[in-house]
Amino acid sequence: MSEQQAGYREIFAVREYRHLFAANLLSLIGDQLTAVALSFLVYQRSGSPLLAALTFAGSYLTWVVGGPLLAVLADRLPRRRVLIGADLIRAALVLLMLLPGMPVPLLVAIAFVANLCRPPFQSARASLLPDILRGDRYPVANGLDNIVAEVTQVAGFALGGLLVTAGSAQLVLAADAATFLISAALITTGLRRCAAATEIAAEPSGSWWAETTAGVRVVFTDRTLRSYLLLFWLACLVYATEGVVAPLAGEYGGGARTGGLLLAMMPAGVAIGGVLLTRFCGPDLRERLMLPLAVLSCAVLLPVAARPPLPVVLILLFVSGLAGAFSIPLNGLFGRAVPAAYRARAFGVAMSGLCAVQGLAMLGAGAAAEWVRPSLVVGGVALLATLAVLAVLAGWPTVSRRWWAWSGSRSRPSTS
C-alpha cells in the first residue's frame, strides 16, 4: 500500500517539530554569524589571513575531527539534554569571546571548541526526527531542512558581513549568543523528556571508543546502509567544483561577481529541487527518481570539460544542484534503516565522511587546476563522480534496482 503524501502543513502540525525547526534555524544562523564575525575579528586583531581562514574552516573541520566521537553523546544521553547542553555551551563560549583583550590564539581555540558542539547537536536532532515524524512527514521534513540549510548558508554569510560592516564583530557575536539561548529555550519548552536511546534499546554501555566503533560497524557491515552512505558521499564529489570557482571565473574573464554566480548555482538548484521533490512528487515517485537523479547530478557536469559559454556552465551547475535533491529520499531511507540506539552515531559517521570527501576533493581539484584549465578539472571530477556512483549502483541491493525498469511497485532494499 502506498504511503500517503505529506505536505508542510502536516509536518508543522507536530508541535515538537515546530520547536525543533525553529531551534535548528536559529542555531544554523548562529553558526554562520560566528564564522563570519570571528574571522573578521581575528583578521582585525592579527592581520593574518591564515589565522582568519583557520577560524572560518574550523566549523567544517570539527565534523572530520569530532563527528563520530562526539555523536556518541546523542546516543548515550537523552537527546533533549544534548540539544540544550550544546546550545548553552555555545552561548557561553561566544560570550567569552567578547571579553576585551582576548589573545587571538585563544579566540581561535574557543571558536574550535564551540564548533565541536555542532556534531552532537545535529546528530541528536537528526536522531529525533524519525521518532517525531511518522510516514511521509519524515522525508518531507528532511527536504525542508535541506532547503533551509542551503538558504541559511548563503543568507547567513551575507547577513553576517552586512552586520559586521554596519556595526562591529562584537555586536554580531552578542546576537549570535542570543540565537543559541533562544534555541535552548525552544527545545526546553517544546520537547518531551525521554531516556537515552541506548537505555531504551537496552544496549550495553562500553568505553567511548567501543561505542564509537560500534556506530561505524553498524553502518559498514549492513549492505543497505553501506550502499546508502557510499552513494551519498561519492555523488558529493562534484562539490569539488567549489574549490576551483575563483580560477574557473578567471578562465571566463570574470572576477568576484562571476565567482559568486558560479557558487550560488548549486545551492539554488538544491533548494528548488527540494521543493519540487517534496511538494510535487509522492513518496513512491521520490524513491524511483532517487537513483537516476544521483547519476544525473554528476553526469550533467561532464560537458563543462569542453568549455561551453558561461551561461551554459551556470545552467549545468544549477541542474546538478537540482538533481542533488536525490539526497532527500536517501536521507529518509537511511534514517529509518538505522537502529534507533545507533542513529546519532550513524549520522556522525555520515557527516564526517561527507566533510572529509568534499574537503579532499576540493584540495585535489585545486591541485589539478595548477596544471590544467579549471573547466577541464570540473569535467574530470564529474567523470570520476559519475563512474563512482555507477560502481555503487552496480552493487546496489537487488530489490532496489527497480529504477532501471521504472517499476511501479514499492519495495525496500535487502540487508543481505
pLDDT, tens digit, 9 for 90 and up, residues 75-104: 778 888 889 999 999 999 989 888 887 787
Tens digit of each residue's pLDDT (9 = 90 or more) over 254-306: 776 777 678 778 888 888 888 888 777 777 788 888 899 999 999 999 999 99
Highest mean pLDDT: which of 17-21, 53-57, 297-301, 323-327?
297-301
List Cβ neighbours of 129 (8 Å cut-off, separation of 6 or more): 17, 20, 138, 141, 142, 335
pLDDT 10s digits, 42-68: 767 777 665 665 666 666 677 777 777
Whole-number pLDDT of residue 313: 92
Nearest partner of 32 among 86, 79, 94, 84, judged by Cα: 94
* HEC string for 241-306: HHHHHHHHHHHCCCCHHHHHHHHHHHHHHHHHHHHHHHHHCCHHHHHHHHHHHHHHHHHCCHHHHH
- 348 exposure class (CB count in 10 Å sphere: 0-12, 13-18, 19+): buried
Q: What are the tens digits of pLDDT across the range 92-142?
A: 998 988 888 778 778 878 888 888 888 888 888 888 888 888 777 887 887
- What is the average pLDDT value for the chain, to the nearest integer? 78
Whether 319 shows a pLDDT value over 80: the answer reads yes
Which single residue is written with the C-alpha cell 527518481? 289
Q: Rounded to the nearest 10 degrees, how much is the dihedral formed by the CA atoms of 154, 160, 162, 168?
A: -170
Name the pLDDT band for 162 (thresholds 50, 70, 90).
low
pLDDT value of position 198: 40
The distance from CA 224 to its chain's CA centroid, rounded to whole angstroms, is: 21
H/E stretch holding 79 reads helix 79-96
pLDDT digits (tens, 9 = 90+) for 335-348: 777 877 777 788 87
Q: Burial, 178: exposed, middle or buried (Cβ in 10 Å; 0-12, 13-18, 19+)?
A: middle
Residues 266 and 315: their CA atoms lie apart, in Å, by 9
pLDDT confidence bin for 184, thresholds 50/70/90: very high
Q: In the prediction, which pLDDT does 166 show?
A: 66
Residue 315: exposure state from Cβ atoms within 10 A (0-12, 13-18, ≥19)? middle
Output the pLDDT for position 50: 59
CA atoms within a 13 Å half-sphere pointing along the CA-CB vector of 63: 21
CB distance 44 to 97 below 8 Å: no
- pLDDT for res 345: 80
CA separation for the pair 206, 287 (Å, rounded): 37
Q: What is the pLDDT of residue 259?
A: 72
Q: Is 416 exposed, middle or buried (0-12, 13-18, 19+ CB in 10 A)?
A: exposed
Residue of higher predicted confidence among 286 and 22: 22
* AA letter at 114: A
**pLDDT tens-digit map of 368-414:** 877 888 889 899 999 999 999 999 998 887 644 433 333 333 333 33
The CB density around residue 319, as the number of other CB atoms within 10 Å, is 18
Q: How far apart are alpha carbons 290 and 329 in whole angstroms?
A: 7
Burial of 402 (0-12, 13-18, 19+ CB in 10 A): middle
- Of the candidates 253, 234, 381, 384, the residue with the CA atom closest to the CA atom of residue 317: 381
Cell numbers representing residue 184 in the block: 535552548
Give the pLDDT of residue 252: 83
Which domains are delineated in the chain? 10-187 (1.20.1250.20), 213-396 (1.20.1250.20)
